[in-house]
């Protein structure tokens, strides 16, 4: 229209987007994530933590994980989960978009101080790792009877 050649592959907008991605990586993310199911880079697997008076439940959403290669450990009130996720790659495939996480990961979740590190159970089903950590009996509320 104005005699300016438009090259979308190496356009100015692509350069701005590339700079924005580099700035996000450098400064830790920034604005709104691009999709409803998106998480910030480096946060695999996504984690939910819930608590009741009796226990703390940690859910990690990690489909395609070999449970034999998962390492789950607890020290004091720090729960550490690490492993590796490998995806099959077809030879000579050029990816135009790649959203599935590949590689080693490690997540550390700080738990309440009243958990019992000797009473922990882990289960993996349907791509979800559930770790259930019981609370210490001494920390649970007790009802005290009033004598008359």
- Is 135 in contact with 120 (CB distance < 8 Å)? no
- The model's pLDDT over 95-145, given as tens digits with 9 standing for 90+, comes to 777 777 778 889 999 999 999 999 999 999 999 999 999 998 876 677 788
Taking the model in full, what pTM does it have? Answer: 0.64
């Amino acid at each position: 229209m104005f005699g300016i050649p438009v090259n979308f592959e190496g356009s100015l907008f692509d350069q701005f987007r590339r700079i924005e991605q580099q700035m996000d990586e450098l400064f830790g993310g920034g604005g709104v994530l691009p999709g409803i199911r998106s998480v910030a880079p480096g946060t695999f697997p996504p984690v939910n933590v819930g608590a009741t008076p009796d226990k703390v439940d940690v859910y990690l959403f990690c489909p395609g994980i070999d449970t034999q290669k998962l390492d789950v450990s607890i020290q004091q009130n720090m729960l550490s989960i690490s492993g590796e996720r490998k995806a099959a790659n077809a030879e000579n495939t050029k990816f135009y978009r790649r959203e599935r996480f590949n590689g080693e990961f490690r997540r550390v979740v700080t738990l309440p101080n009243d958990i019992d590190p000797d009473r922990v159970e882990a289960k993996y089903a349907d791509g979800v790792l559930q770790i259930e950590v019981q609370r210490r009996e001494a920390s649970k509320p007790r009802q005290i009877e009033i004598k008359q």
